[in-house]
Structure 1
Amino acid sequence: MRVCASTWTLVLCSSLLLSAASSASRDETFKTRPESSTVVGNGDAEILRIKQLIAQLGSDDFLLRREAESQLISIGALAFDHLQEAQTNADLEIATQAEYLLHRITVDYLVRVDDPDEVRELMSAYPKASQTQQREIILHLAALEEAIGVGALSRIAHFELSPLLAKYAALAVLDAQEKHNKLADKVALSIRQEIGESPRDAARWLRTYADQLQNPKVISAEWLSFIDAENSLISDEPETTSLDIVLQLMQFHIQLCADEQHPTELFESLRRRIDLMVEQGEKLGEERENRLRDILAKTLIWTMNQKEWDALDATEVHYSEKIKQDRFLLYLVAIARSEKGQDADASEIAVRAYELVDGDITERSNIADLIAEYGHHDWAEKEWQLVIEQAEVASKESMDARRSFASWCLHDRGEDQAAANLMAEVVDKVDADPQLKQSILQDNELRYLISDLRKSREYFTACDLSKKGDHAGERKHLDLAYAYQTDMQDPDILIAMYRLPGQDEAYHAKVQERIRQAADDVDQLIEKYPNEAVWYNHWAWLVSNTEGDFGKAVRYSQRSLELSPDSPSYLDTLGRCYFAAGDLENAIKYQRQAVEKHPQVQVMRRQLAMFEKALAEGHAKDKEKP
C-alpha cells in the first residue's frame, strides 16, 4: 500500500488578539516539547476551562466571544483537540469559530530537539514543501529504519490542519505494520504519546493500531466502523477524504485479517471493497455488471492466491447469482476448488462454465489462456478447440487459439507435427489468397500473428524431425524459424540450434554469437525496464540452456520471481539455472515446486526427472534437452 499527501497549511497567530508577552510565552512552551502539554499534565481544571471557553464562542455577547477566542489562541496546543471536536458542535456559531481558531493557533509540532537527525531534516523541510514534496516526506518518514519516523508521522496525524494529509500520515504508519511487529511496544508507546486523546479520525486509527500491535490476534471491530465512516465521507464531506484513502484503509484491514486468519472479518472488508468499487464505477458511468465482474474476478484471484478459503467460500455464496451466470467467474471458482483439493467439484464447475452459451469466441480464447496459466490445460484445450472450430481460419481469435493450443498442449505432449499442421492451416490459406494476405499485412497485429505462426510452424517441424533423427532437416527448419522472427530472438530456437548435433565449428560459432547478441539485447531491455519480470526470465532461460554466466542466470531468475512470485514457468527456469550452475539440490527443489503448481505440464516433469537422474548418478550440467 502506498500513501499520498495533500496540501498542508499552518496559519500564524494574529498579533491583533494576542499581546507580545503571551505570544512569546507560548512560543517558548511549544518549541521545546509540545507533547508534554498535549498528553501529560492536562488537568481536569484546565480541560474544564477550555470547554467553557469553547461554549462561550456561541455567546450573544460579542465581547465575551472575542475574549474566548483570545484565551483559546493563547492556550494553544492544549486547546487544539477540543477545538477539533467542536467543529461538529450542534451550535453552528461554535462550530464555525472552532474551525476558524484552529487556523489561528500555532502549534510548533514539526521539529523536536530530541528527534533523530533524519527526522529533523525531513520535518524541517515539511512546512515549505509543495504538495508532491510533502507526499514524499511522509513516505520517507515511514521508510526510516527502526520506526524512528513514527513519532513525526503521528504528530502530523494529530496536528496537521488538512484532514487529508493527517490521514495519509496515519496510513503511512499502518502500511509499515510488518516492520512494526518486531517493535510493537516501542511503536505503540510513541503513537500514544503523540496522539493523546485527539478525536480526529487519523488519530483514532492510530490509537486502534497501537492496541493492535500489542494484541495482534484480536482484530478490533472498530476497523470496519472506520471503513464505513470514511466511505460515507466520500459523498458527505469529500474535502476530508478520497477514494484512495478509503481503499488504502480497506487494504490494510484486508491484509490484517488475512495475516491473522480472521475469515469473517476479511470477507466483510472484501464485500465493502467490492461494493465501493462498483458504486464508484457507476458514478463514472461504467456498466455495473461488467464492473462487478471485474472486481469479483480480482477478489476471487486474490483470495485464491492467498489461500483464504473461508473468505473465498463466503464470497462465492454472497455473489452466487452473478458467478453462476458468468463463464470467467465459474472457471475461477473451479480453479480455486482444485487448489483446495476438491477435484471432483472443480471438474463439475468447469463443465458448467464450458457449457454456458453466453459469451463470444474472443472471450473463450482469453479465458482459456488464463486457465492454462493456472495449469488446467485439459479445460483450456476444450475452449481452444471450440474457438478453432468456430472462428474464421485467418482471424485473430483463430491464430491466438492455435498458438496457445499448439504450445501448451500439442508441443508439450510431443505432438510436434500436429502442432505444425495447426499453424500450416492458417499460413497456407493466407498464402493461397492474395487479397486476404494483403488485408492481413495491412493490420499490424495480424501481420505479427501470421509471422509468428510461420516461425512456430518451422520450429515445431524442426522438433518433429529432431525426434526422427533427421538433423539436416531439423537445421533447415530451425534456420527458417530464425528468419521468420520479427523482434526479440526466440530463446527456444537458439537453444535448439545450440544443441543441434553434428554441426561444424563455423555453424556452432555463428550460433554462439547469436546467443551472445540475444543476451546483450535482453540486458538492454532489463536496464530500460528493470521491473519487468519477463526479461529476467528470458535471459536466464536462454543462458542456462546454452552457455554464459550461470551465476548471473540464477540471480536474474530469482529477480523474476521477486517481481512475479510463485510463477510456475519462472520456477521452472530457476530449476534449470541451478542445474546449469551445478547445484542439483536446488535445481530439484525449485523444479518440484514448478511441477506442483503445473502438474499437467509434461516438459516440466521431464526436466525434473532429468535433474533427479543427474543427482542419482552424480552428474554435473547436462546440456541435452529434457
Structure 2
Amino acid sequence: MVERSYSSPTRFRLPLVRRHPLWIAAWWFIAAVTASAQTADKRLADEAATAAAMADRSAASTASQESESQRQAHIASLIEQLGDNNYHRRSDAKWELERIGLAAFEQLRQAAEEHTNAHVARAARYLIESQNVVWWLETDSLEVRELLKSYNESTGDDRDTVLLQLSERSSPDALLALCRLARFESHELRSKSAALYLMQAISKQLKLLAPPSRAQQSSQLVGSIALTLGDSRRVAAQWLQAFIDDLQNSSKLETGPVADSHLARWQELVTREQELATTQPQAASQRSGHSFEHMRTRAVTLRLYRWLGSWITEHYGREPALALVRSSLELVGNDPQALLTAAAWAIEAELPELVPELAAKYADQFKDEPQLGYYLAESYLQLGDESSAQKAADAASEAIVKQVEQLKALTNLNLEEIRANRHYQHARLLAQRGLFPWAEQEYLRALALESRVQAGIRADLAQFYWFGGENAKAAETLRPLAEEAQQRGEPGLPMQADVYSNPAAALANYHFYSGLAALDENKKPLASEHLRKSLEVGGVSPNPDVVIALQQLGSDEPFHSYFQMAFEEMSGDFRIRVLEAEEQLSKAADRMSRAMSGPRLAEECNQLAWLLSKCEISTSEALSLSLRSLELMPDEPVYLDTLARCYFADGQLEDAVRTQKKAIRLAPHERQMLKQLHEFEAALEAKTSNAVP
C-alpha cells in the first residue's frame, strides 16, 4: 500500500503517533473548546465563545464538502467495510477511520458494543483501544501536562491515579481534562470514573461558595463541559449531561415538574448501573478473567450511588435521596470494610436511616465490629433516639473486649496491650467524628490498661481536653509524663523521643496546659511561671500559642516584658524559617522535591501568621503569610482558620466570618474553630448593631 502523509496545524498540539495515524478531526474541536478553560473564573466564560468560533473555523474546510449526516453515513459505511471479505478494502477502511480520528469515536464505540458482525465489532474495538491521543493541551498548566503526558503508556492503576490527582487539583484545566477523558477514554469503567471524579470535584467546589458565586461558577462550568462533551452519548456523557442540567436548573430542583423530571432521569441512569452490577456475575462466571472487572463495576456503581445520594440530598431533599440510594445497600455485601465505608458515607451524607437498615441486614458484623457499632450509635443520635444510641455505643465498647478475649487461644500475645490499642484507636475515631463523650470514655479505658503506647494515649487525651477548653484536665493528664521527663532529662537539653513518646514535648505541653489552667483562675504569677518554663524546654518545635498566652497576662510588669522578649525571639525565629523554606522551594527541581518543600513552607507561614494575628501585631504581614500558606495548600482547614483570624485582626469581620465558616465546613467537629467562629460572629453583630442609626 502507498504510505499516506498529511500536514498538521500548528495552533494546537496534536496526538503523537507510534503505530497509527493521528486522530485529528475531532481533537481540533476539543482542543479549541478546552483551550478556553485553562485559567480560572473569567476566562472560562469569556473564551467559550472564542473556542466555539475556533471550532467552527476548523470545521469550515470540511463543512462545504459534506454535511454532518453525510459524514456520519460515510463513517457508518467504513465501519461496515471493516467486515469486508477483501483484505485491502478492510485495510483501507481501517486507515480511513484512523485518519478521521475522534470524529468517528462515537460510531466506533457503538459498533464495538452492539454490531451483530463479530469481525466488525472486534475491529472497531481495536481501533478504539489503539488510539494514541495526546490528552494535554499547550495551554494546560505544567502540573496537568505532567500528569497527562504519559497517560497512554500508563497501566490501568496508574491511569486511575491520574484521574484522582486531576480531581484533587480541581483547576479549570484539570476539570476539563477529566471531561475529555470521560468522553474519549477507551475503557468504559475508566470513562465513568473520570465523570464521577469530575462531578465530585465540581460539587465540592460549589459547596464552598456563597450562593451568588456558586451561580456564576455553575454557569461558566456548564458551557465548558457541554462544549467538551459535544454529541457524545456514552454513559459517562449521559451522567455529565444530567449533572449540568441540574446546575442550569438549580433553583427549580426542590419541588415541581422540573424536579420530578430530573429525579426520574437520575433514577433511570442509576437503575441501569444497578442492573449491570448485579447481573454481571453470571456472565463473568462463564468468562475467565472477568471477575475483577465485575468487582470494579460494583465499586464504580457504589461511587455513583454515594455521590448521587449527597447531591440529591443537597439539591432535592433527603426523602428523594433516600428513595433513590436505598437499593445500593444490595451492593455493599458482608465484608466489614465495605460495611464501614457504607455506614460512614450514610452518616456524612445525612442519611442515617440507612445504617440501622444495614445493621438489620448484617447483624453479626455490626455486633462483632466495634466501629460498625459506633456508626450505628451515631446514626441513632442523628435520628434523635438517644436511648438506642447509648445502647449501641455500650455494645460497641464491649465488642472491643470480646475481640481481645477471642485472641486468648493464641500464644505470645499481650492481650492487655492489644485491648489498650483497640480502645485508643476507637477513641481517636470517635473524637474525629465529634462524638466527644464516647471518645473520652474510650481514652480513659485505654489509659487504665498497661501498654507501650500509654504515653501516646496520655498526650492525645491531654490535647483532646485542651481542644475542649478543659486546661486543668489536660495538665493533670500530662503530669505523670512531665514528672518522668524531669527525672530522665537534664534541664535545657533535648530529651530523646522513642517510638511511643516524646518526653520533651510532654514536659513543654504540661507547662503550657498548666499555664492556661492558671490563667483560667486568674493566677497570673503561676501562669507566667509555667508558660516561661514551657518555652525553656529544648528539643521541641516552637509553639506560638505559648507566646499568645503570655500576652493574655496583660500589660503589667514584669508580664509585659516577658511577652515582648518571647514574641521577638519566636517571631524572628519563624521569619528565618519562612525564608529558609522559601529558598528550599525555589531550588526544588523536581516534583518530589516540590511536594516536600511546599507543605513545609505552608506550615512555617501559617505558624508565623497565627502568632502575628493572635497578638494583633503586623496584621498585614500576617494576612500575606496566611494567603501564601493557602496558595501552597488550598482548602486546608487549619490554614483557613488562621486566615480567618488574620482577617479579624485586620478589621475585615465579614471576611473573617466567611472564611471561618469555610474552615468549619471542612472540619465540622473542631471545637476551637467553632469557638473562634462564635467570637467573630459576635464581633460582626456588635459592629452591625452600632452602625444602625
Give your verdict on TM over 0.5. yes
> What is the aligned partner in structure 2 of residue 25 from structure 1?
none
> What is the aligned partner in structure 2 of residue 425 from structure 1?
480
**Which protein shows a greater Rg?**
1
Asked if 1:370 corresponds to 2:425, the answer is: no
Asked if 1:72 corresponds to 2:93, the answer is: yes
> What is the aligned partner in structure 2 of residue 191 from structure 1?
229
2:547 counterpart (489, 494, 501): 494
Distance 1:324 1:348 in 2: 12
> What is the aligned partner in structure 2 of residue 476 from structure 1?
529
The 5 Å alignment of 1:387-536 reads 387-392=446-451, 395-396=452-453, 398-409=454-465, 412=468, 416=472, 419-428=474-483, 444-448=498-502, 450-466=503-519, 471-500=524-553, 501-503=556-558, 507-520=562-575, 523=578, 528-530=597-599
Change (3 A) 1:82 1:367: closer
Offset at residue 259 of structure 1 (A): 1.3
The 5 Å alignment of 1:531-570 reads 538-551=607-620, 553=622
Offset at residue 403 of structure 1 (A): 2.4
Query: Could you list the per-position Cα deviations for residues 369-419 of structure 1 after superposition, in whole angstroms to 9, with x for gaps in the alignment?
Result: 332334333222222222222225xx32x2223223334337956562x54
Asked if 1:40 corresponds to 2:69, the answer is: yes
Offset at residue 168 of structure 1 (A): 7.6
CA contact (8 A) 2:656 2:680 kept: no
> What is the aligned partner in structure 1 of residue 366 from structure 2?
323
Distance 1:324 1:488 in 2: 43
Moved more, 517-526 or 606-615: 606-615
1:581 counterpart (641, 650, 660): 650
**SS of structure 1 residue aligned to 2:437:** helix
> What is the aligned partner in structure 2 of residue 23 from structure 1?
none
**SS of structure 2 residue aligned to 1:461:** helix
Distance 2:68 2:133 in 1: 13
Moved more, 605-614 or 298-307: 605-614
> What is the aligned partner in structure 2 of residue 21 from structure 1?
none
Change (3 A) 1:211 1:509: closer
CA contact (8 A) 2:16 2:134 kept: no
Query: Could you list the per-position Cα deviations for residues 536-571 of structure 1 after superposition, in whole angstroms to 9, with x for gaps in the alignment?
Result: 66444433322433355467668989969696x778
> What is the aligned partner in structure 2 of residue 222 from structure 1?
269
**SS of structure 1 residue aligned to 2:448:** helix
Offset at residue 493 of structure 1 (A): 1.7
Distance 1:348 1:433 in 2: 44
Offset at residue 219 of structure 1 (A): 0.5
Change (3 A) 1:565 1:131: closer
1:334 counterpart (373, 377, 390): 377
Offset at residue 8 of structure 1 (A): 7.7
Query: Could you list the per-position Cα deviations for residues 182-219 of structure 1 after superposition, in whole angstroms to 9, with x for gaps in the alignment?
Result: 565785476353x3x7xxxxx34324533554465431
Offset at residue 368 of structure 1 (A): 1.5
Distance 2:511 2:179 in 1: 65
Distance 1:306 1:478 in 2: 43
Seq. identity, %: 17
Offset at residue 315 of structure 1 (A): 4.6
CA contact (8 A) 1:541 1:576 kept: yes
Asked if 1:11 corresponds to 2:64, the answer is: no
Change (3 A) 1:420 1:267: same
Change (3 A) 1:372 1:167: closer
Offset at residue 516 of structure 1 (A): 0.7
Distance 2:149 2:668 in 1: 51
Query: Could you list the per-position Cα deviations for residues 59-108 of structure 1 after superposition, in whole angstroms to 9, with x for gaps in the alignment?
Result: xxxxx43365256347645987666555566766555555667799xx99
Q: Which amino acid aligns with 1:65?
A: N
Distance 1:313 1:404 in 2: 31
Distance 1:41 1:565 in 2: 50
Change (3 A) 1:185 1:415: closer
Asked if 1:259 corresponds to 2:311, the answer is: yes
Distance 1:508 1:419 in 2: 23
Distance 2:120 2:129 in 1: 15
Query: Could you list the per-position Cα deviations for residues 97-151 of structure 1 after superposition, in whole angstroms to 9, with x for gaps in the alignment?
Result: 55667799xx99999xxxx9959x99xx99x964479988996999657998899
Offset at residue 453 of structure 1 (A): 2.1
Q: Which amino acid aligns with 1:40?
A: S
CA contact (8 A) 2:644 2:656 kept: yes
1:305 counterpart (334, 348, 370): 348
Q: Which amino acid aligns with 2:322?
A: P
Distance 1:413 1:172 in 2: 39
**SS of structure 1 residue aligned to 2:539:** coil
Offset at residue 365 of structure 1 (A): 1.6
- How many residue pairs get aligned? The number is 545
Asked if 1:358 corresponds to 2:402, the answer is: yes
Distance 2:509 2:176 in 1: 57
Query: Could you list the per-position Cα deviations for residues 39-61 of structure 1 after superposition, in whole angstroms to 9, with x for gaps in the alignment?
Result: 523687x7886676455x4xxxx
CA contact (8 A) 2:133 2:152 kept: no
Offset at residue 164 of structure 1 (A): 8.5
Q: Which amino acid aligns with 1:322?
A: Q
Higher relative contact order (CA 8 A, sep 6+): 1
CA contact (8 A) 1:478 1:497 kept: yes
CA contact (8 A) 2:377 2:392 kept: yes
> What is the aligned partner in structure 1 of residue 592 from structure 2?
none
Change (3 A) 1:607 1:481: farther
Query: Could you list the per-position Cα deviations for residues 502-556 of structure 1 after superposition, in whole angstroms to 9, with x for gaps in the alignment?
Result: 2177534321213313543664669733499876664444333224333554676
CA contact (8 A) 2:434 2:669 kept: yes
Distance 2:488 2:104 in 1: 84
Change (3 A) 1:70 1:543: closer
Distance 2:675 2:350 in 1: 25
Structure 1: tracts of 5 or more residues without a match: 1-5, 14-28, 58-63, 198-202, 279-287, 435-439, 621-626
Distance 1:180 1:147 in 2: 13
Distance 2:354 2:344 in 1: 12
Distance 1:388 1:362 in 2: 10
Change (3 A) 1:571 1:298: farther
Change (3 A) 1:612 1:268: same
Q: Which amino acid aligns with 2:366?
A: I
Change (3 A) 1:432 1:544: closer
CA contact (8 A) 2:455 2:501 kept: no
> What is the aligned partner in structure 2 of residue 347 from structure 1?
390
Change (3 A) 1:557 1:296: farther
CA contact (8 A) 1:588 1:612 kept: no
CA contact (8 A) 1:30 1:109 kept: no
Distance 1:402 1:362 in 2: 13
Distance 1:146 1:420 in 2: 48
> What is the aligned partner in structure 2 of residue 3 from structure 1?
none
> What is the aligned partner in structure 2 of residue 281 from structure 1?
none
Distance 2:96 2:650 in 1: 71
Q: Which amino acid aligns with 1:219?
A: W
**SS of structure 1 residue aligned to 2:434:** coil
Change (3 A) 1:581 1:329: farther
The 5 Å alignment of 1:224-243 reads 225-226=272-273
Distance 2:510 2:618 in 1: 31
**SS of structure 2 residue aligned to 1:545:** helix
CA contact (8 A) 1:459 1:477 kept: yes
**SS of structure 1 residue aligned to 2:90:** helix
Distance 2:426 2:479 in 1: 24
Give the CA RMSD over aligned residues.
5.9
Change (3 A) 1:400 1:512: same
Structure 2: tracts of 5 or more residues without a match: 1-14, 23-57, 204-216, 247-261, 314-320, 404-418, 586-596
**SS of structure 1 residue aligned to 2:479:** helix
Change (3 A) 1:517 1:327: farther
CA contact (8 A) 2:431 2:439 kept: yes
Q: Which amino acid aligns with 1:355?
A: E
> What is the aligned partner in structure 2 of residue 210 from structure 1?
241
